[in-house]
Structure 1
Amino acid sequence: MVKLVLLHKADSIYEDELDVEYDLPRAYLKAVEAAVGDWIVYYEPVKAGPRGYFAVARISQVIPKPGFDGRYLALIAPGSYLPFDREVPRLVNGRPLESSLAGPDGAPLSGGAVQSAVRRLPESDFARIVNLGLPEDLERIEATRYDPHSNELDDEPLIFQRPVIERLTRRKYREVAFSRKVREAYGYRCAMSGLQLRNGGDRPEVQAAHIRPVERDGSDSVRNGLALSGTLHWMFDRGLISIAEDNETILVSRNKVPGDVVDRLIRPGGKLLKPEDPHHTPHPHNLRWHRENIFGQIVEDAASPWPLG
């Protein structure tokens, strides 16, 4: 197994669904097959967008792309995709983070491997890029973000020493990374109420909700997330609200939710507030999954805040 950098361009003819599959031509098949079971880093070149290295994932298998001769799909292992907390540039202090893209003097090379859509990534380069994109102490950064004296992590004083792969597979770490990216994408504003509530310590009250739960093969992509207030998050998870086929109209199970509750909680017009960055817009596939599998099906694991008829 080997680690790779996979180049992604939003305007490419290749139809990548980054948290699900990566579309590639036959020319890169052997290189990608060698990485099955291992981790990759996604990279978007500056000319196609400002993101640089922007996410990590693990390849589970490679299959022929149905209906496309000479094209293949690298399938992403469910639950492995994770966007970086901060996007990482190709060059740091004028030197490439990928050692294969640097000359003997450390200066960046041009042409050749630099233009390849699939590049081998040594373990040390992988760790360096991930550490820049997903800081080792991200949980501590978030826990002390609004309260420098928070004792939330007192029981885990050595969390910053966790190895890279252990960190990438640790659910608590991934939840923090997912929450930070989703809430930031929506400007810390609830996507359904439009409210931007903060408590006395200026801590945002909005939460990050998975559209398709991780335990049901959902990913930690921002496109599988919504920023919601606590009550709306509860309602969304229990199928009382969802999003219509137009991907913006908020659906309400009106036989289960009182009309006055809807009027108080949902923004005027009943349309979903979307992120400014189109990279972060909820994916229609995820919204459809929620609509077809969760909406209208109440999970009886908690008391309702109002009488349900």
Structure 2
Amino acid sequence: MAFGVFIHRSDSIYEDSPAERYQFPSQYLARVEACVGDWIIYYEPRKALESRGYFALAKIQQVIRDPSAPSMYLAVIEPGSYLDFVNPVPFRDDGGLIERGLLNEEGKISGRAQSAVRPISLADFNRITKQGFPDDIATLPRVDASSAFPGMQESQSVFQHEQERNRVAYLTSRIIRDRVFRRNVLQAYDSRCAITSLKLINGGGRAEVEAAHIRPVEANGPDIVSNGIALSGTAHWMFDRGLISIADDREILLSRHVNDTAGVRAMINKTGHILPPARAVDQPHPHFLRWHRENCFKT
């Protein structure tokens, strides 16, 4: 098993869904197979519009042939493993290149930087993930790593590299994932409810809005911002119970089971559509919206 970096663009020509699958040609098969059962970091190249740099991590569950494109393969992402970074990490900072393994013997960037799939050292993996998650979120809870995230049942070791590997298990525990997801969604929506348009901040400076999953975690919904939406408590309650849903064009849909239609419509912002995040990559994905309409919404 090995860590890896997978290049992904939000405008990719490939049939990618970073939280679910990564499509790639056969030339990268051996490299991707080496990552099965281990973790990869997604990187968006600097040439991409509004590049996010290194922006997320995920665990590769298996590799299969793409049934819709026989010449291509799919790296299947382990459900529940994908996690957006709170702070996207740039290709380089004041200290130089973040991914040191891309430097050749002369200290220059090698041709490996152009590879869509490439191995990455544990040191580089840790350097990137530590920058991706701020200290106030990445504070490790006092729980056993094996129970925090099934599948990461490495034995405790006095060696530093084993301790660093266990750090991934802590970062992907449900407690930490909830904190990261909330911060990412609220940041994308500017702490404003997408349904009501209200932005309420309490006396302690905490936003009253909540981060809701469109497709719930219990139904294998990933912790990706495009599967999230910022909602006030009441709107969140109605959304989870299928009394409100969202069309692909972002129109807010009301169920026939709502017993106070006039009151709910008065609560909804005047546009009748959700107020989406500024960045296209953060906006609710039709794939998740469709799931909610088909599985939660009470027509």
Q: Specify the TM-score bucket, using the shorter chain as the normaliser.
A: 0.7 to 0.9
C-alpha separation in 2, matches of 1:80 and 1:41: 12
Measured after TM superposition, the shift of residue 103 of structure 1 is 3.3
| 2:202 aligns with one of 172, 176, 199 | 199
Instruction: Say whether residues 1:79 and 2:80 are aligned partners.
Output: yes
Code of the residue aligned with 1:109 in structure 2: it is I
Instruction: Say whether residues 1:294 and 2:293 are aligned partners.
Output: no
**Contact kept? 2:257, 2:298, Cα under 8 Å:** no
> Aligned Cα RMSD in Å?
2.2
Deviations 1:9-51 (A, max 9, x none): 2333212111111010000011101111110000011111421
After TM superposition, the structure 1 stretch with the greater mean CA deviation from structure 2, 275-284 or 61-70, is 61-70
Structure 1 residues 128 and 30: CA distance shift in structure 2, 3 A: same
1:262 aligns with 264
Measured after TM superposition, the shift of residue 196 of structure 1 is 0.9
Instruction: Say whether residues 1:41 and 2:41 are aligned partners.
Output: yes
1:234 aligns with 237
**Contact kept? 2:213, 2:227, Cα under 8 Å:** yes
Instruction: Say whether residues 1:219 and 2:222 are aligned partners.
Output: yes
C-alpha separation in 2, matches of 1:97 and 1:91: 5
C-alpha separation in 2, matches of 1:69 and 1:179: 39
Unaligned segments of structure 1, at least 5 residues? 141-152, 298-309
Deviations 1:77-117 (A, max 9, x none): 11111000001011132522223212346x4414x101111
2:187 aligns with 184
1:133 aligns with 132
Code of the residue aligned with 1:283 in structure 2: it is H
C-alpha separation in 1, matches of 2:88 and 2:284: 20
C-alpha separation in 1, matches of 2:256 and 2:287: 24
After TM superposition, the structure 1 = structure 2 runs for residues 168-179 of structure 1, keeping only pairs within 5 Å, are 168-179=171-182
- 3-state SS of the aligned residue for 1:137? helix
2:89 aligns with 88
Instruction: Say whether residues 1:275 and 2:274 are aligned partners.
Output: no
- 3-state SS of the aligned residue for 2:266? helix
Code of the residue aligned with 2:103 in structure 1: it is A
**Contact kept? 1:84, 1:134, Cα under 8 Å:** yes
Structure 1 residue runs of 4 or more that deviate by more than 4 Å after TM superposition? none
After TM superposition, the structure 1 stretch with the greater mean CA deviation from structure 2, 16-25 or 257-266, is 257-266
Unaligned segments of structure 2, at least 5 residues? 144-162
Deviations 1:217-250 (A, max 9, x none): 1000000000000110011111111112x33111
**Contact kept? 1:131, 1:164, Cα under 8 Å:** no
After TM superposition, the structure 1 stretch with the greater mean CA deviation from structure 2, 115-124 or 261-270, is 261-270
C-alpha separation in 2, matches of 1:164 and 1:39: 12
Instruction: Say whether residues 1:18 and 2:21 are aligned partners.
Output: no
Percent of pairs with identical residues: 51
**Contact kept? 1:240, 1:257, Cα under 8 Å:** no
Structure 1 residues 137 and 216: CA distance shift in structure 2, 3 A: same
After TM superposition, the structure 1 stretch with the greater mean CA deviation from structure 2, 91-100 or 232-241, is 91-100
Deviations 1:32-71 (A, max 9, x none): 0111111000001111142110000001111111231321
Measured after TM superposition, the shift of residue 169 of structure 1 is 2.4
Code of the residue aligned with 1:97 in structure 2: it is I
Code of the residue aligned with 1:37 in structure 2: it is G
Code of the residue aligned with 2:3 in structure 1: it is K
**Contact kept? 2:213, 2:229, Cα under 8 Å:** yes
C-alpha separation in 1, matches of 2:223 and 2:68: 29
After TM superposition, the structure 1 stretch with the greater mean CA deviation from structure 2, 252-261 or 285-294, is 252-261
Structure 1 residues 257 and 139: CA distance shift in structure 2, 3 A: farther
Code of the residue aligned with 2:70 in structure 1: it is D
C-alpha separation in 2, matches of 1:31 and 1:65: 17
Q: TM-score under structure 2 normalisation?
A: 0.87
Number of residue equivalences: 279
1:54 aligns with 55
2:100 aligns with 99
1:69 aligns with 70
C-alpha separation in 2, matches of 1:70 and 1:94: 41
Code of the residue aligned with 2:183 in structure 1: it is R
